């Protein structure tokens, strides 16, 4: 269903960041303007590196998509500041001790903004059943390692890179997978490998894997936007 066909109703959200001029009419106008673009929503807890990379590709017109909204569970997230600076509607929806309410707010937010694809960019919370059901086959996460060996609860960010180096692996990589109710569990959609150098540190490896993640996500979104892959996946 294209964004223009979605219900364009701005939900009440007491945690909404200030958004100049945003209204129900504004959302409807945005959705109508994006009829021919893949409407992507992003979720990020911290920096949102993949979110930034994909948005730069959108700005450069190398992918036929649009960033329609950014949601974070952390008010201090740098991704929120980046989104605001780039004119992308951005919201803080806290989840601590209010998981069910946050799940409903997030589901309603994504529907209101006409999201066709939801991308997790370092979003460190499990999604709730309402959001998962509403966007089944349309939620993707990028993991900074090769799954399933380097995934699961507590295996994220630099912890993955440290584990890879501790095990003296010769290669690592990035994995894009569908999101379900378990950490790093959904079906793998795309993967790429990154060679490990003898003198690599956690930081140097992290930097190269981040680049690989962004390239992998951008290529996958391009394939979806031109019909090479059809949603839901």
Per-residue pLDDT of the chain (233 residues; tens, 9 = 90+): 444 343 333 444 434 443 333 445 455 555 555 668 999 999 999 999 999 999 999 999 999 999 999 999 999 999 999 999 999 999 999 999 999 999 999 999 999 999 999 999 989 899 999 999 999 999 999 999 999 999 988 888 999 999 999 999 999 999 999 999 888 889 999 999 999 999 999 999 999 999 999 999 999 999 999 999 999 99
* Whether 34 contacts 68, CB under 8 Å: yes
User: What pTM does this model have?
Assistant: 0.85
Phi/psi class of residue 48: alpha, beta or left (left: φ > 0; alpha: ψ in -120 to 50)? left
Structure tokens at 87: 């004119």
Total Cβ atoms within 10 A of residue 179: 26
Structure tokens at 146: 């090769």
Measured distance CA(68)–CA(31) in Å, rounded: 9
Q: Is 185 a catalytic residue?
A: no
Total Cβ atoms within 10 A of residue 28: 19
Q: Which of 143, 177, 185, 197 is catalytic?
A: 143
The alpha carbon dihedral of 195, 208, 68, 124 has a sign of positive
What domains are defined for the chain? 3-135 (3.40.50.170)
* Whether 157 contacts 122, CB under 8 Å: yes
């Amino acid at each position: 269903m294209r964004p223009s066909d979605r219900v364009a109703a701005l939900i009440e959200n007491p945690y909404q960041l200030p958004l100049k001029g945003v209204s129900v009419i504004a959302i409807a106008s945005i959705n109508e303007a994006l009829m021919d673009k893949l409407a992507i929503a992003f979720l990020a807890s911290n920096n949102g590196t993949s979110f930034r990379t994909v948005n730069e590709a959108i700005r450069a017109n190398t992918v036929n998509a649009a960033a329609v909204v950014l949601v974070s569970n952390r008010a201090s997230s740098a991704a929120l500041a980046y989104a605001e600076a780039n004119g992308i509607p951005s919201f803080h929806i806290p989840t601590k001790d209010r998981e069910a309410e946050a799940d409903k707010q997030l589901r309603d937010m994504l529907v209101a903004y006409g999201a066709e694809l939801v991308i997790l960019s370092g979003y460190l919370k499990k999604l709730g059943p309402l959001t998962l059901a509403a966007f089944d086959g349309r939620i993707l996460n990028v993991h900074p390692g090769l799954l399933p060996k380097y995934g699961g609860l507590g295996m994220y960010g630099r912890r993955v890179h440290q584990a890879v180096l501790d095990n003296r692996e010769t290669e690592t990589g990035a994995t894009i997978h569908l999101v379900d109710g378990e950490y790093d569990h959904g079906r793998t959609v795309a993967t790429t490998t990154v060679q490990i150098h003898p003198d690599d540190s956690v930081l140097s490896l992290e930097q190269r894997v981040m680049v690989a993640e962004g390239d992998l996500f951008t290529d996958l979104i391009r394939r979806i936007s031109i019909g090479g892959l059809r949603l839901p996946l």
